[in-house]
Amino acid sequence: MVLAFWRATGDSAAMIPKTGPGRQRSWRDDMAGAITDPKQLLAALDLGREWLEGARAAAALFPLRVPHPYLARMRKGCVDDPLLRQVLPLYAETCTVAGYGPDPVGDLRAQAAPGILQKYDGRTLLTTTGACAVHCRYCFRRHFPYAEANAARDGWKAVFEYLDRNPDVHELILSGGDPLTLGEDRLAQLVRGLSERPQVRRLRLHTRLPIVIPARVDDALLAWIRSIPLPLVMVVHVNHAQEIDEAVCVAMQRLRAVGVTLLNQAVLLAGVNDSVTAQVQLSETLFAAGILPYYLHVLDPVAGASHFAVPIERALALFGDVEGSLPGYLVPRLVQELAGAPAKVRLGSGMTLPNPVQ
Ligand SMILES: *Cc1c(COP(=O)(O)O)cnc(C)c1O
Ligand code: SF4
């Protein structure tokens, strides 16, 4: 199906297998070849032009971006496809909604220096780039000023200075954008500086790239990971079981083989994964791919994303049913990020409890 699609669009890369020793498809080709024109997206999925005007209006606010390996996992002719729904710009994004703003979780105020976000004890989050492999319409950083807030510039100098001033920081989290859009040379530069600072015990990557473009997990990335003298935790971002195909499973196996701890964060999204079935299938499929569920985020109220909101009572009831359907280790923590809180805030279980035992 994937090959058929590439042939249909005349992509010369169609003949190159996605995986296999020595014949890896370059992730940079997939990045560069991503669909950015709403008309092209609708045509590729056999969808009517009735969506075009809204898509263009919304894409003018936050550009459309869908790489082909992700597109290939969508069902044609289905505007409700759970993957398409995450990336299709809709007219609803252009409406102003009370309570939804440009900086929903207080990221700008949390900056200790440009791109260095200090919210929680012991761990510091770095925004390293504005680039992503895919543009998720609900992204809470869709209005973030990445050009100024970039911790990777100057060879990470500001990060090293920050660590030297803050010896109680034990974990660095690379976020974005997507930190795996950076090449291994930039990443290696960071690791060299970290290896001189024994206060840092763990490195964490928050990335969606290995999911949307599994070819990102190539030999160069694996070589970089093997060179890190610290445990690496990778928190990927999958919202629906349909996102995990065979190529993703192979990529995850490779990461596990070099000792990476794999966790997932998802966002609870109306029309994407707001059912017990979708959540249970997501957890089961993650586990089969070697990933444990970590967080299920309640939508951050970012301007343009209000149509993804699930009312909190419904979220709690749904989550209670999810807890009743899975082993505890496959239940993600339902959390909300509140500006100023000392950690992500865990939301209570919506489980129906039995009467107390007499
Ligand atoms: C979410 C977040 C973290 C990570 O929180 P954990 O609970 O450790 O996963 C760290 N820093 C910032 C600024 C964050 O937003
Ligand atoms: S990959 Fe992450 S940072 Fe990039 S648009 Fe999606 S949610 Fe936002």
| Residue bearing the CA closest to ligand 1, atom 9 | 344
Using a 6 Å cutoff on CB, does residue 176 contact ligand 2? yes
CB contact set of 317 (below 8 Å; sequence gap of 6+):
350
Distance 308 CA to ligand 2 centre (A): 15
* 275 CA distance to ligand 1 middle (Å): 26
CB-based contacts of 104, cutoff 8 Å, min separation 6: 140, 300, 301, 302
Cβ 210 under 6 angstroms from ligand 2: no
- What pLDDT, on the 0 to 100 scale, is given for residue 176? 83
Burial class of residue 99, CB neighbours in 10 A (0-12, 13-18, 19+): exposed
**Residue 24 confidence (pLDDT):** 56
Low-confidence ranges of the chain (pLDDT < 70): 1-25, 350, 356-358
Q: Which of 159, 173, 202 has most ligand 1 atoms within 8 Å of its beta carbon, as the pocket-test mutant? A: 173
The sign of the dihedral angle between the CA atoms of 93, 95, 96, 100 is negative
What was the pLDDT predicted at 152?
87
Closest ligand 2 atom number to CA of residue 140: 8
- The per-residue pLDDT for range 211-240, each reduced to its tens digit, is 999 999 999 999 999 999 999 999 999 999
Distance 68 CA to ligand 1 centre (A): 30
The predicted pLDDT at position 357 comes to 60
Count, residues in the chain: 358
pLDDT digits (tens, 9 = 90+) for 270-314: 999 999 999 999 999 999 999 999 999 999 999 999 999 999 999
For residue 25, the model assigns a pLDDT of: 63
Atom of ligand 1 nearest to the CA of 119: 13
CA 276 to chain centre: 21
Q: Is the beta carbon of 136 within 6 A of some atom in ligand 2?
A: yes
pLDDT of amino acid 352: 74
Predicted confidence at residue 7, as pLDDT, reads 32
- φ/ψ bin of 127: left (φ > 0), alpha (ψ from -120 to 50), beta (otherwise): beta
Tokens of 313: 């009572």
Amino acid at 253: Q
Angstrom distances, CA of residue 69 to CA of 19, 49, 322: 12, 23, 30
- Position 149 scores a pLDDT of 84
Domains and CATH numbers, the chain: 4-94 (no CATH), 111-347 (3.20.20.70)
Taking CA 74 as the corner, what is the angle to CA 71 and CA 76, rounded to the nearest 5 degrees? 110
